[in-house]
């Protein structure tokens, strides 16, 4: 860009060695006037929808005879690739003279002439349209100083590819006088998570050794169950597991230093404030693996009672998070509104939760 605006390396005229410009950031709607015009190099066009391709291979195993009768296993392998992901273009990493940055810049065609000169008419039209936006932070009083437009708003770049296995396995068996039993597990195992931020960047796998500090656990979640019933009473226990999460790439919700930096301690932020010492120079915003247990007890009267109003009454007691475990600490945002949370939002903040349900069937 410098070569186009100041080919002679003029150090006298500020309009050449320190040109003024417009920065477009955020949503792509703001960048619409600056896209698809003849002054723009490269192929950057108006924002297009992301595209996705996927395929799924399923497997079911349910033998009807033998000692494995009662086993039902459903396993699905899937591969999803989202292309043209919508994100900010950071190809040039802020260097306007990078060869990767050229398509992000619109340079005034004749920098030695006024922006109102006919030779700069198309450039002026874009500047005027941008100035007309309600969120514009400049006006006509500085038009003469504007020599370039930098478009860093969201555009279509790179891809994200997810590969994993969903599984649902259950085994039921009859133990005679000991009743009917069942055991099983459902969950999701992530084989790989690959992404490319832009065409000039390498493809990164979150499970490569080079990115181990961001890897996360590949067994993302699992729900184990063990149940028993004699037709009247039923008892089922569950164990819920979710693996540790990867660190965010941008650490975009930094916790103030007084909560974690080595130069501080408990009470540094305010009287009684907590302290989370960290080994590295950046606060670790990942969450550890965590277990919680649930329990369900059910009593069904069936047709046993003499009084018909007491027949087919089902009483069910469910206890979520049986041992009242706190969710792991995690400094994160739960919504796009960036509402701060101090716990891993994959788990409920209510902890132990008890419900009693009574159902009558006629």
Phi, psi angles (nearest 5°) of residue 259: -90, -20
Q: Most confidently modeled of 214-228, 267-281, 292-306?
A: 292-306
Q: What is the pLDDT of residues 98-128, one digit of tens each?
A: 666 667 788 888 888 899 999 999 999 999 9
- Are the C-beta atoms of residues 332 and 253 closer than 8 Å to each other? yes
Q: What is the pLDDT of residues 315-341, one digit of tens each?
A: 999 999 999 999 998 877 654 555 677
Q: What is the pLDDT of residues 163-209, one digit of tens each?
A: 999 999 999 999 988 999 999 999 999 999 998 877 777 888 888 75
Q: Specify the pLDDT at position 8.
A: 54
pLDDT range class, residue 54, cuts 50, 70, 90: very high
Candidates 192, 183, 201, 156; CA nearest to 78 is 192
Instruction: Select the more confidently predicted residue: 2 or 101.
Output: 101
Give 36-70 as a DSSP string.
S-TT--TT--S----EEEEEEEEEEE--SSSTTTT
| Least reliable range by pLDDT among 69-78, 155-164, 179-188, 214-223 | 214-223
Tell me what the mean pLDDT of segment 44-66 comes to.
88
For the record, the structure tokens of 228 come out as: 């028993």
Rounded to 10 degrees, the C-alpha dihedral 321/327/333/334 comes to 0
Tell me what the mean pLDDT of segment 260-269 comes to.
92
Widest CA span of the chain, in angstroms? 104
pLDDT score of 36 more than 80: no
Report strand pairing: 233-242 vs 180-196.
unpaired
- Chain mean pLDDT for the chain: 85
Q: What pTM did the predictor assign? A: 0.73
pLDDT range class, residue 212, cuts 50, 70, 90: very low
- Percent pLDDT > 70 in the chain is 84
How far apart, in whole angstroms, are the C-alpha atoms of residue 131 and residue 128?
5
Using CA atoms, how far residue 78 sits from 10, 168, 219, 244, in Å, is: 58, 14, 15, 22
Q: What is the pLDDT of residues 71-101, one digit of tens each?
A: 999 999 999 999 988 887 766 655 666 666 6
pLDDT score of 273 more than 80: yes
């Amino acid at each position: 860009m410098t070569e186009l605006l100041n080919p002679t390396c003029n150090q006298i005229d500020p309009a050449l060695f320190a040109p003024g410009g417009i920065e477009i950031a955020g949503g792509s709607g703001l960048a619409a006037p600056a896209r698809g015009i003849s002054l723009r190099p490269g192929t950057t066009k108006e924002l297009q929808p992301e595209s996705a391709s996927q395929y799924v291979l399923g497997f079911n195993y349910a033998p009807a005879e033998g000692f494995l009768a009662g086993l039902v296993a459903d396993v699905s392998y899937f591969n999803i690739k989202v292309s043209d992901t919508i994100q900010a273009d950071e190809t040039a990493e802020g260097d306007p003279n990078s060869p990767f940055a050229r398509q992000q810049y619109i340079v005034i065609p004749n920098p030695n002439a006024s922006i109102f000169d006919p030779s700069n008419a198309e450039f002026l039209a874009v500047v005027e349209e941008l100035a007309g936006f309600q969120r514009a932070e400049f006006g006509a009083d500085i038009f003469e100083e504007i020599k370039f437009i930098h478009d860093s708003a969201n555009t279509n770049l790179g891809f994200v590819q997810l590969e994993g296995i969903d599984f649902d396995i259950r085994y039921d068996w009859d133990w005679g006088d000991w009743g009917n039993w069942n055991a099983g597990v459902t969950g999701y195992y992530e084989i790989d998570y690959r992404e490319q931020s832009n065409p000039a960047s390498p493809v990164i796998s979150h499970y490569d050794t080079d990115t181990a500090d961001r890897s996360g656990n590949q067994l993302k979640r699992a729900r184990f169950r063990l149940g028993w019933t004699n037709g009247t009473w039923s008892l089922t226990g569950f164990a819920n597991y979710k693996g540790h999460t990867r660190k965010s790439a941008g650490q975009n919700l930094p916790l103030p230093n007084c909560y974690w930096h080595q130069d501080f301690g408990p009470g540094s932020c305010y009287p009684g404030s907590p302290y989370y010492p960290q080994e590295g120079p950046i606060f670790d915003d990942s969450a550890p693996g965590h277990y919680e247990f649930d329990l369900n007890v059910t009593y069904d009267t069936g047709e046993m009672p003499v009084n018909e109003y007491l027949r087919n009454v089902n009483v069910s007691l469910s206890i979520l998070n049986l041992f009242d475990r706190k969710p792991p600490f995690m400094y994160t945002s739960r919504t796009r509104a960036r509402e701060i949370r101090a716990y891993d939002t994959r788990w409920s903040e209510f902890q132990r939760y008890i419900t009693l349900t009574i159902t009558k069937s006629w």
